[in-house]
Structure 1
Amino acid sequence: MSTVLVTGGSGFVGIHVILQLLAAGHTVRTTVRRPDRRDDVLAMLREGGAASPDNLSLFTADLTGDAGWREAVAGCDYVLHVASPLSTRVPDDENEMIIPARDGTLRVLRAARDAGVRRVVITSSLGAIGYGHKPRQKPFDETDWTNLDGADVQPYIKSKTLAERAAWDFVAREGGGLELSVVNPAGIFGPVLGPDFSGSIEIVKSLLDGAMPAVPRVYFGVVDVRDVADLHLRAMTAPEAKGERFIAVSGETMSILDIGQVLRRELGPKARRVPRLQAPDWLVRLAAKRIPLLRAVVPMLGRVRHSTSAKARTMLGWQARSNDDAILATAESLIRLSLVKG
């Protein structure tokens, strides 16, 4: 078994990666931005079934500074770089997201190289692949890159694209013997283990809470967080994963209205607040002028991006849960943890 560092251990993806590494018998280290997040990490691990994570060590390190990274990575065989700046709003200055994502990624890669780490697996995004392009029916695959000049490229999308580009450039020019693999997930759903979760989970929470009388015409791919974690572990050790990107998406692209229909069908009365109507685009654009959270939605209205995970399936033997299973697991965990309205 190996010693593995997971960056961003208090995050939604990071905690599931840690659970699977511990279950596989690895010695795990993880970073948190503040020491007081230690109790949060342990609580989420207990919720996930790891009652006594004896093989876990926590280190304090932030993507915006050098402190703590050398100590966290020393003696590690692998690094899974999951941490990334994330915001539910569109920042006034895109560099608020771009600089920490890009520079933080390079900071982790330098520390890994200097410590003699074998391979780093980076959590990128489908946002680094399928945005800024004209509408098309052909599914996006790992050979595609987001066009940063596209009208639908928001700061988060740009930050993930530039961070991944910087990672490949670094390994090619300065990596020495360091290997790199990248996982590019679609919208990540699945079981929540605590109050920290992704923007995708916020969609399901908002639907269950009845926060929207009608939903915007927005589409995205779906993948379960447990399958994203599994793909990280496969990319970490498979020899053929060296130097490769892997899209993580479960099935067909879904709309927010589709997700609402799944919730109503499977949850019955518990989904009584889920809206049944889709808002016209003009109304969403109008509302976005008054509601900052909708600003990020407007460039996505009506855009359908198909993508394929055939490479992960054929090269690494990866299998994913269905869209419906991922969405239902999200909703059931939010309800169990009392994170939605009663």
Structure 2
Amino acid sequence: MGDNTGHTNGKVLVTGGSGFIASHVIDVLLNDGFEVVTTARSDEKGRRIVESVQSAQQERLSYVVVDNIASDGAIDAILEAEPPFDYVVHTASPYHLNVQDPVKDFLDPAIKGTTGLLRSVKAHGPSVKRVVITSSSAAMINPMNHAKVYNESCWAPWTWEDALDSKKTYVASKVLSEKAAWAFMDAEKPNFDLAVINCTFTYGPVQRNLPGLEAMNTSNQRIRDMAQGKMKEGLSPTAPVFTFVDVRDVALAHLRAMTVPEAGGNRFYIVGGHFSNKRIADVIRKSFPDLAARLPLGDTQDDFPADVYGFDASKSKKVLGLEYIGFEKSVKDTVQSMLDLNLGL
């Protein structure tokens, strides 16, 4: 842990600090005694990030406004600041469902944003020991022909041609940007190593600085929608993803992937268990009886498939020492965090 003499465990650049996963990554880094600099798209967003953490930790958190993290040299000047950086955690990635131009909206920012960041670190961050990139299980999973058991050796089959189909743009961007990162490491042999976090559907407490429930991360939206009564008449289908993880485990995975020596050069499948929408509704009903009237009836059919694909998270347990938070606690804590914000749930 850091002490009161101004000593820290090191200095970390976190891209995309306003994001759901990033907010929890910043929390665990500060709790572990690191100094954190995060990128934000505006002063207002930057201030919101800093104000959201405990006041005692605010002196170890600062922000830099970067309008477009994927633009050439976006972080060059940041990396040259003193004292030098020890680590970079890249969480910023485009995710929105309104794809007008797959290349401009998604593929360029995802692929060039990732390789451009690595290039900047190589040229302007000579002290950086390791880069951790937030990828996704979307880079691993093939919904058209599931592996019996998914692990880190699995890659989704999407190509550049697939990516131009707007229905596949997001998942393809995850494969192509992660592959580009590993190809960069192979070709450029920089003075740092790389670890990649491939997390699945991520639930868990919403960030404290959430301006409104509509600004919530995509995975948690299904829990929000149920709690708001939007699925009272019937649950939407769970497919295509039947695996979840709690954001606190994802954040811890980033910290450990950054600090555990043998994590370098590895990707990690971060997954806590299976779920279905029916199971979410059942947990909410049991944990929050006041919300039961907003949920579909308890005898609603569960669409969890009997032949659901398996997963192997043993590498994250062994190398990163993760012990995953259970499904019931994750859903319960997510709903409670929404209620605590008094945003009109």
Instruction: Give the TM-score normalised by structure 1.
Output: 0.85
SS of structure 1 residue aligned to 2:288: helix
Q: 1:133 touches 1:146 (CA, 8 Å); kept in 2?
A: no
Residue 196 (structure 2) pairs with residue 187 (structure 1): no
Q: 1:63 touches 1:107 (CA, 8 Å); kept in 2?
A: no
Q: 1:135 touches 1:303 (CA, 8 Å); kept in 2?
A: no
After superposition, the Cα gap between the structure-2 partners of 1:246 and 1:152, relative to the gap in structure 1 and judged at 3 Å, is farther
SS of structure 2 residue aligned to 1:263: helix
Residue 229 (structure 2) pairs with residue 210 (structure 1): yes
Following TM superposition, by how much is the alpha carbon of 1:133 offset from its aligned partner in structure 2, in angstroms? 4.2
After superposition, the Cα gap between the structure-2 partners of 1:222 and 1:327, relative to the gap in structure 1 and judged at 3 Å, is same
Q: CA RMSD in A?
A: 2.5
Following TM superposition, by how much is the alpha carbon of 1:50 offset from its aligned partner in structure 2, in angstroms? 4.8
Residue 51 (structure 2) pairs with residue 36 (structure 1): no
Following TM superposition, by how much is the alpha carbon of 1:52 offset from its aligned partner in structure 2, in angstroms? 4.3
1:144 corresponds to = 154
Following TM superposition, by how much is the alpha carbon of 1:308 offset from its aligned partner in structure 2, in angstroms? 2.2
Could you report, residue by residue, the CA deviation over 1:271-317 in whole angstroms, capped at 9, with x for unpaired residues?
A: 43122476999xxxxxxxxxxxxxxxxxx999944322111101221
SS of structure 2 residue aligned to 1:143: coil
Q: 1:131 touches 1:153 (CA, 8 Å); kept in 2?
A: no
Worse-matched range after superposition: 145-154 or 78-87: 145-154
After superposition, the Cα gap between the structure-2 partners of 1:132 and 1:147, relative to the gap in structure 1 and judged at 3 Å, is farther
1:199 corresponds to = 218
The 5-angstrom pairing of residues 127-276 of structure 1 reads 127-136=138-147, 138-148=148-158, 154-192=168-206, 193-195=208-210, 196-212=215-231, 213-218=233-238, 219-251=241-273, 253-276=274-297
Distance 1:339 1:279 in 2: 31
SS of structure 2 residue aligned to 1:320: coil
**Aligned length in residues:** 317
2:71 corresponds to = 65
Distance 1:302 1:310 in 2: 23
Could you report, residue by residue, the CA deviation over 1:203-253 in whole angstroms, capped at 9, with x for unpaired residues?
A: 1111111112212231421111111110111110111111101111112x2
After superposition, the Cα gap between the structure-2 partners of 1:337 and 1:158, relative to the gap in structure 1 and judged at 3 Å, is same
Q: 1:79 touches 1:120 (CA, 8 Å); kept in 2?
A: yes
Q: 1:217 touches 1:302 (CA, 8 Å); kept in 2?
A: no
After superposition, the Cα gap between the structure-2 partners of 1:166 and 1:39, relative to the gap in structure 1 and judged at 3 Å, is same
Q: 2:204 touches 2:334 (CA, 8 Å); kept in 1?
A: yes
Q: 2:30 touches 2:57 (CA, 8 Å); kept in 1?
A: no
After superposition, the Cα gap between the structure-2 partners of 1:321 and 1:40, relative to the gap in structure 1 and judged at 3 Å, is same
Could you report, residue by residue, the CA deviation over 1:98-136 in whole angstroms, capped at 9, with x for unpaired residues?
A: 221111111211111111221100000011111244145
Distance 2:310 2:228 in 1: 29
1:306 corresponds to = 310
After superposition, the Cα gap between the structure-2 partners of 1:271 and 1:340, relative to the gap in structure 1 and judged at 3 Å, is farther
SS of structure 2 residue aligned to 1:25: coil
Following TM superposition, by how much is the alpha carbon of 1:152 offset from its aligned partner in structure 2, in angstroms? 11
Q: 1:204 touches 1:331 (CA, 8 Å); kept in 2?
A: yes
Residue 109 (structure 2) pairs with residue 94 (structure 1): no
The one-letter amino acid paired with 1:53 is Q
Following TM superposition, by how much is the alpha carbon of 1:178 offset from its aligned partner in structure 2, in angstroms? 2.2
After superposition, the Cα gap between the structure-2 partners of 1:263 and 1:307, relative to the gap in structure 1 and judged at 3 Å, is same
Q: 1:63 touches 1:101 (CA, 8 Å); kept in 2?
A: no
Distance 1:36 1:214 in 2: 39
SS of structure 1 residue aligned to 2:227: helix
Distance 1:34 1:304 in 2: 43
Residue 18 (structure 2) pairs with residue 10 (structure 1): yes
The one-letter amino acid paired with 1:176 is P
1:292 corresponds to = none
Candidates 321, 324, 338, aligned match of 2:325: 321
2:91 corresponds to = 82
